Amino acid sequence: MSRFWIILFHTYVSKLKTKSFIITTLVTAIILIGLTNMTNIIDYFNKGNGEEKVAVIDETGELFPLFEARLKTVNEELVIEKFNGSEIEAEDQVESEKFQGLLILDYNESMLPIATYKSLSVADFAIPGDLQATLQQVKSQFAASQLQLTTEQLEKLSEPASFERIALKDNAKTQEELSEARGLVYVILFVIYFAVIMYANMIAMEVATEKSSRVMEILISSVSPIKQMYGKILGIGLLSLTQMAILLITGSFFVK
């Protein structure tokens, strides 16, 4: 076998057996498996949280059923419960984490619904966001009835304008295809970026070890430097193909 191939396979096999290569490949594969199964993982963790409950004190005595019905269309999983005690009692319950938060419904001067939301921190955006959206709908309904608008008129008013883009070229990509392509470009960009850094670094390290450990002097007296260089580059190239293949196979296996 020519010395070029000896160097190539030596580089390939010795790098393949290093701990760092095995570990990076494994870690990347695990991350890949994680990413492809992201939805499953999120679902798994969400299940354990139980349902979120918000206590509602209805000062008006009539808003609660309407609000509850509207909330179903915004977020089905969020549960609200009418609280009959005083505000202070309700706050205590929130503090003991029996409820996620406390919503106080009321009318303002012009008889439109307003609300105050109290929770342990204001850092949570999901629940207040949903409640706010619901309240917005209820308010619109109230405002409409004050202005004596019918439901139809209200819908007309709030309906978003339809806007559609159509490509005239036959082979033009649809919106969906475009965003898919964009995602793919980002992924490939990252893969290329890391590959260039990692594998080039590997070659450089290999040369540096030979230089610093002075094996170079023996090597150079038996093989020409050009052969050594190309043997190394292609050996690492082969290694990179192996790593990519492993990652692609695991990826495609789990995507299915």
Partner 1 sequence: MLKGEEKMVLELKDVTKRFGNFTAVDQLSLSIPDQEMFGFLGANGAGKTTAFRMILGLLSPSSGSITWNGKNIDYSTSPLIGYLPEERGLYPKLKVRDQMVYLARLRGMPKKETLKELDYWLSRFKVPEYVDKKVEELSKGNQQKIQFIAAIIHKPKLLILDEPFSGLDPVNVEQLKKAVIDLKDNGTTIVFSSHRMEHVEEMCEHLCILHKGKPIVQGILKDIKRSYGKKNLVIHADFDLEELKNFSGVTNAKTTPEGISLQIKDEEVSSHILKSIVDKGFISKFVLEEPSLNDIFIEKVGASYE
Q: Where does this chain bind partner 1 (CB under 8 A)?
A: 1, 3, 6-7, 10, 14, 209-210, 213-224
Closest contact distance (angstroms) between CB of 208 and partner 1 is 12
Burial 40-76 (b: 16+ CB within 10 A, else e): eeeeeeeeeeeebebbbbbeeeebbebbeebbeebbe
Closest contact distance (angstroms) between CB of 121 and partner 1 is 52
Closest contact distance (angstroms) between CB of 198 and partner 1 is 18
Closest contact distance (angstroms) between CB of 244 and partner 1 is 25
Q: Considering beta carbons, is residue 24 or 137 the nearer one to partner 1? A: 24
Closest contact distance (angstroms) between CB of 3 and partner 1 is 5
**Terminal C-alpha separation, the chain:** 42
Closest contact distance (angstroms) between CB of 23 and partner 1 is 15
Pairing of strands 101-107, 113-119: antiparallel
Q: Considering beta carbons, is residue 41 or 205 the nearer one to partner 1? A: 205
Q: Considering beta carbons, is residue 171 or 212 the nearer one to partner 1? A: 212
Q: Considering beta carbons, is residue 47 or 214 the nearer one to partner 1? A: 214
Q: Considering beta carbons, is residue 114 or 215 the nearer one to partner 1? A: 215
Given a contact cutoff of 8 angstroms between Cβ atoms, the answer to whether 131 and 54 are in contact is: yes
Q: Considering beta carbons, is residue 94 or 219 the nearer one to partner 1? A: 219
